[in-house]
Chain A
Amino acid sequence: MIDVTAPPGTPPAKARNRVLKQNRRHVPVLATLALLIIMYAVGVANYRGFSDTQVVLNIFVDNAFLLVVAAGMTFVILTGGIDLSVGAVVALTTTVAATLLHAGWSAAVVLPLVLLMGTVLGLGMGAVIHFFQVEPFIATLAGMFLARGIALLINRNSIPITDGFWTAMAEERIRFGPGVFISTSVVISLVVVLIGAYVLAYTRFGRTVYAIGGSADSALLMGLPVGRTRIAVYTLSGFCSALGGVLYSFYMSSGYSLNAQGMELDAIAAVVIGGVLLTGGSGYLFGTVLGVLVLGLIQTIITFQGTLSSWWTRIVVGVLLFAFIVLQRAVTRRSR
């Protein structure tokens, strides 16, 4: 073979091209941000009182539980998986919590107990997915039926919660001024998001999540703990669902086995609209926050409009989802 010393380095044109490609990864998130701003502007222009700070804060208050659930879902989808059980786990959590509190158990016992229950459920699904190589779709669908079934078995009716701690958490308001406030749930959800974002960006576990989403086979050959991380991701999603359930029961002051029907779809929609690739490996938790805000803003606009049926929310979400999936395809196809 002939040896020639090639001049190393990248010509500037190539480097510029690379920068473009790199920024392309942010396109979906930026698109969501733009959409959010436009929607807000439309709302402000058309409805009186829309510009109140509290309108925005209420979106957080009304969707704190969804944000927590979607945060867990983000981890799962980043690995290229899916968790359909989240809504059912939320319902189960509210039902179990309400039942136990009603039976006179102390909140200090009930709270850790329900969180543990959701975590264990997630762990179980993760283990089934990993050890028996079951598709996440199937395993979590089974988990969804299981959780919803148990909830229905416990009680078919709504159970009010009168526990002191629960009502305190529900009524506590953090005020920034007259008529400007958030609930404790909002604080909790934002803490979850911050921790989650840190974990994704700065820990080995977080980076392994991205690697698995990129290529699970390669990750395995690179010596990454693929099995352990996969299980951990579903466990985390189980925990987030349970925590979301707790926030939901603060919000409703009751537990009900038919709560949160279809919440898994809202969570998935929020994640996807937030720019996380459904095939995994790309996206940010910050995007998910934007996704939840988009969903919340649609609801708010429809409420302000007053004459539209609430089903319009669904239709708009459907259209947006579709648009975002097409956008993602375009971006990933071009950046190859």
Chain B
Amino acid sequence: MGSRPPVLEMTGIRKVFPGVTALDDVDFRLLPGEVHALMGENGAGKSTLIKVLTGVYGTDGGEIRLGDTSVLFGSPLQAQQAGISTVYQEVNLCTNLSVAENIFIGREPRSLGRIRWAEMRRRAVELLARLDLTLDVSAPLSTYSLAIQQMVAIARAIDIDAKVLILDEPTSSLDASEVAQLFAVMRRLKDAGVAILFVSHFLDQVYEVADRMTVLRNGRLIGEYRTADLPQMQLVARMIGKDLEALEELESQPRSSARELERGPLIAKAVGLGRAGGIAPFDMEIHAGEVVGLAGLLGSGRTEMARLFFGADRADTGHLEIDGKPLVLRSPRTAMAHGIGFSSENRRTEGVVAELSVRENIILALQAARGWTRPIARRRQDELVDKYVKALNIRPADPDMPVRNLSGGNQQKVLLARWLITEPRLLIIDEPTRGIDVGAKAEIQRIVAELADGGTAVLFVSAELDEVLRLSHKIEVLRDRRLVEELDNTDDVDADRVMRTIAGGVAS
């Protein structure tokens, strides 16, 4: 390995934000034709390293060499022109533009300065086909789900003829089949000599594709390893800097079904609830103390179903009964007044308010439920916020920090904390562990289990089937925007069984 000169070499990189040293003397090398995983907990500095590299931020020290020239990019545009193509964490596209434009804007096929729209659309279709996607490329991107948007962002990045491809948590909102597609493309590019930098909190994925990895902790370099030389347990130990307890705890978590479910009173009941184009009419019951998991592929209607329970979308057939009484959810406000909480999958547009502080973000839903005329005393706020900042290990643990300065995973924790403090009777959580590191993921799963033990009804949506299986008492399987089966999570139900139901056909 040592024989090939690196395409990219960063040495002694330092980046300081007011109050936080995000990167301190970090070295990083990327070889041609390798997939290199950048590993670390939430807030370790992975995204910051990528942003420093690609000219989003300036550096406070260190050198970046591309090939054998020293470079310092002033903007992502310059990095792109130098052959570095990047998919940043969170989807950074313009949802008002069409799918095709999002892929090609800035590089549109032109003749005499005139954009050739037909050719652009044709090429977009071809490119998406490489990722096994068939989309209406002239539709605005906003009409597609977050996962599809993520795939479009990837399509954009791989079309750029690049020496270096950077993917910051590209798989966090994808399902297994999309991930497989992405990995196939990554392997092709790698064989063509492209150096790929990959960030993910899914260890299985990292071990599947990465050749080497670099581990960061608290903005410091821990080491650079060949994947084959570093067993998973040791990797985790290096990432969290503690012994393996956290991980073992995660592994040994009991499945909810193993716990005795004391089914409480009926909280919510959907009767023929449905919405055209979203989800076909379905019936469902959620009892107090019960965790109901939604399983299904991307676009199978998971999120759409969850949103109906909160009134985030209006149902056009059927109705919802809360405590046995029919309730028309005209808006989320009504839902909140009846003790329903909803943590959205889309944290950037429907989740955290980036300009507000951690404290304000956490207090938001509770305050809204009380009404703005009855402010929560500052002391009480501090108590509540402190409790959840600790419980979820939100870092930096500074309640006055604007949320936009937090790393992606920590923003997700803030969003979850917001709903936890409202102590809802029915908590709907859509992808609560997206982009969250192993330690915090175990913590969130534990909290969900505790909530249910305490009598809260939980509607749990996650693309990770393992997680759904681990937590749910009951699993609702969706396919093609239809509820196809309800499975009690007994011992004979495993991932295979659910997968077969999802895939249709041979359900036994």
Q: Footprint of B on A, CB under 8 Å? A: 1-6, 8-11, 13-18, 21-22, 25, 202-204, 207-208, 210-211, 213-215, 217-225, 281-282, 335-336
Contacts and interface: CB of A to CB of B under 8 A. Distances in A.
B96 A214 contact: yes
Among B75, B117, B132, B480, chain A packs the most CB atoms within 10 A around the CB of B75
B139 A204 contact: no
Contact of A202 (B114, B133, B138, B503): B114
| Pairs of residues from A and B, 4 with the lowest C-beta to C-beta distance, nearest first | A214-B94, A17-B277, A214-B96, A223-B80
Contacts of A11: 480-481
A8 B125 CA distance: 13
Contact of B77 (A4, A8, A217, A223): A223
30 contacts: A1-B179, A1-B202, A1-B205, A2-B176, A4-B177, A4-B502, A6-B175, A6-B177, A6-B178, A8-B134, A10-B135, A11-B480, A17-B143, A17-B276, A21-B139, A21-B140, A25-B140, A202-B114, A203-B115, A208-B105, A214-B97, A215-B92, A218-B93, A219-B94, A221-B92, A222-B92, A222-B105, A224-B106, A281-B94, A336-B142
Given A214-B97, A220-B75, A222-B93, A2 B499 contact: yes
Contacts of A215: 92-95
Contact of A3 (B75, B95, B177): B177
Categorize the interface residue count of chain B.
35 or more
Given A207-B97, A215-B95, A220-B76, A1 B176 contact: yes
A222 B97 contact: no
Contacts of B93: 215, 218, 222
Contact of B76 (A22, A203, A222): A222
A8 B12 CA distance: 45
B143 A18 contact: yes
Contact of A211 (B105, B140, B180): B105
Given A2-B465, A207-B105, A222-B93, A335 B277 contact: no
A208 B503 CA distance: 41
A248 to B, nearest CB: 31
B83 to A, nearest CB: 12
B247 interface: no
A215 B156 CA distance: 17
Given A5-B177, A6-B175, A13-B276, 13 more contacts: A1-B176, A6-B178, A6-B297, A9-B134, A10-B134, A11-B481, A208-B106, A211-B101, A218-B92, A220-B56, A223-B81, A223-B106, A281-B96
A109 to B, nearest CB: 31
B140 A22 contact: yes
B20 interface: no
B112 to A, nearest CB: 10
B76 A223 contact: yes
A217 B92 CA distance: 8
Given A211-B97, A220-B76, A6 B140 contact: no
Nearest to A277: B96
Nearest to A15: B136
Contacts of A10: 134-136
Interface string B123-150: 0000000001111101110110000000
